[in-house]
Chains A and B, each alone.
Chain A
Amino acid sequence: MKKILSTIIITSILFTACKKDNATPDFDEQNLASLSVEFDNIVGGRTLTFDNTAVPYTNATGEKFTISSIQYFISNIQVTTTAGKQFTVPQDSSYFLIKGADRATRFAKVKVPEGDYSKLTFVLGVDSLRSTMSVDKRTGVLDPAAGGHDGGGMYWGWNSGYIFFKFEGNSEVITNDQLGDPTGKKQFKYHIGGFGGYSAPTINNIRTITVDLTNAGIAKVRKDRQSNIHLFVDLMKFFNGTNTFSIKTHPTVMFSEYSTSIANNFKDLFTHDHTEN
């Protein structure tokens, strides 16, 4: 009798377990559950540490550098189920500012329908629609007042628009003249932005990143748990991506033609490491 009972219990446990793992909920846009995307900043084979002058990083050109700050906008998150159903997170809850110095900001937390997702798409930057919206819509991370203008600011006042990707640090290879850093601080500053222009088409550094989750683990989004897509963001690829460039040759890149070649490296930064379901 006892044996039978325990068999029943075990079987029912197994059943529930099976049910939990296998049954894919019907895709219902009203049936939302939480999903987070983690942007874990790394530098090549090492973790990100700031101003690590003792052991600087080395890029593909052989230049040693340290990092003092990294911030970027992630927006317009979209996910696709294994069955090919797409869901776009409503715009009002789809803007995130990832700050390397503030670990709490590394998650983009959104609500998507319960389901199994094998594809993640997002924009690195702020889309042109938001970039031209009235001041009322510019709240939260998009508030032009957020973060001041010297340190953490991500807004260009003189040429209305957001800085999508702000990456600063130091390298001994930077000269002290006008072509380098005339202040002698040997700083590199990369402020990459440009949404395509208000009235005439201008540079567009908005990049849409697509990540296939099939190999490293699909995201099973359910109400009773927290699925987390863990991405590595390899800042080394900023220098060593599709367009490998030298810090010495381009120590400061802001609103200029060259910024578009750097933006072409953005897609190389993101790899899917694993998913915590």
Chain B
Amino acid sequence: MKLRYIKYFLVIIVFAYACKKSEDIEEKVETFLGFQTPKNFPETAYNFANNPITKEGFELGRMLFYEPRLSRDNTITCGSCHIQASAFTQHGHDVSHGIDDRLGTRNSPPIMNLAWSKAFMWGGGIYDLDLFPISPITAHEEMDESLENVLNKLSAMDKYKSKFKAAFGKANITTANFLKALSQFMLMCVSSNAKYDKVMRKDDNVSFTAVELEGYELFTQKCASCHTEPLFTDNGFRNNGLAPSAINDLGLYTATLLNADKYKFKVPSLRNLKYTAPYMHDGRFLTLDAVFMHYTHEVQATENLDPLLNKNGARGISINNDEKTKLMAFLNTLNDEDFINNKLLAEQ
């Protein structure tokens, strides 16, 4: 008899809890919080004053991000090479796989924390996020479409006319508003909820395990000068001593023609490594083990090798197996499940 009451009681509690939870979710969906700088992050680099983020603008941007009409034959979206489940990279592809099965020359980088970025692309060349989408849209091996034609295709659709009107007050689709909407979506792709972030913000008293903490200390000694916290990139361009590839990609030099920029590539963030293999600008390393192997044993003395990787005549970084285990434990705290599961960023 007694047991039965307890059962009923439990069922009621479960119901009540379920109700409460769904209400919370509903509330979350209804209130659009806009762009918020995480407590443990620095000031942003993007000029928000020129493109304030609104619910309508963000939603339009999201629609455009997943819109196949951005490509010549309406088959490829931004999301094709920037898959949320892979932290907005193209998992399993060393270099990006675009239209007509054409292959690019570089690994598709994550759409993540771009509000803090001052330069874009592995090899630079673009310094304003608003101008970024022109590159993949017009690249022969990516979307192979003209911006003009994209705007024509979208302008023929009533759905976009009303969305643009809602977002920017004008149904007429201009280059500027098209690009700004895409920026709004990309800017909202913020990854700041990894265990590391919770530890730093002291959320719910989350703390590192002993091995993670040791890993963190090793990280600050051996890695942090380039992979600076909390974005885990200094947003600079460096030559990390990779052997030049068959196509001899000269990196930043291609955009600046300065000899001092040869073989320099953008320092990638170390966030979400669990989801973003393969690694490096051309995806040459399939595992983190291979990345460690590079830094410990395989750094090449190429032109402009970063001095940090060539100290006292010894190339690379000395990391023993025990240290590697600890570093791996720390790097694991940079994986942000909320980011890859955030429904707000998914195709609707």
Contact = CB atoms under 8 A, between A and B. Distances in A.
Interface of A: 132, 134-136, 138-139, 143-150, 153, 155, 157-160, 197-200, 202-203, 255-257
Given A144-B131, A158-B125, A158-B135, 5 more contacts: A134-B130, A144-B175, A145-B175, A153-B138, A197-B256
Given A158-B121, A200-B258, A203-B257, A135 B146 contact: no
Given A145-B147, A158-B139, A202 B256 contact: yes
27 contacts: A132-B128, A134-B47, A134-B130, A135-B130, A135-B180, A139-B176, A144-B134, A145-B146, A145-B148, A153-B138, A155-B134, A157-B134, A157-B138, A158-B121, A158-B125, A158-B255, A159-B126, A160-B127, A160-B131, A197-B256, A199-B118, A199-B119, A199-B127, A200-B256, A202-B255, A202-B257, A256-B257
Contact of B126 (A150, A158, A200, A257): A158
B256 A157 contact: no
A136 B179 CA distance: 10
A12 B255 CA distance: 67
Contacts of A150: 146
Given A134-B47, A136-B176, A144-B175, A160 B128 contact: yes
Secondary structure type dominating chain B contacts: helix
B151 interface: yes
A153 B150 CA distance: 14
B221 interface: no
Contacts, number: 85
Contact of A144 (B127, B147, B254): B147
Interface string B236-265: 000000000000000000111110010000
Contact of A147 (B125, B148, B179, B256): B148
Nearest to A148: B146
Interface string B160-203: 00000000000000111001100000000000000000000000
B50 A134 contact: yes
Contact of B125 (A134, A155, A160): A160
Contacts of A200: 256, 258, 261
A140 to B, nearest CB: 11
B137 interface: yes
Contacts of B147: 144-145, 148-149
Nearest to A155: B134
B74 interface: no
A144 B179 CA distance: 11
A134 B174 CA distance: 14
Interface in B97-131: 118-119, 121, 125-128, 130-131
B101 to A, nearest CB: 20
Nearest to A145: B147
B256 A135 contact: no
A135 B149 contact: no
Give the one of A132, A147, A159, A160 with max B CB within 10 A. A160
A157 B137 contact: yes
A145 B127 CA distance: 18
A159 B125 contact: yes
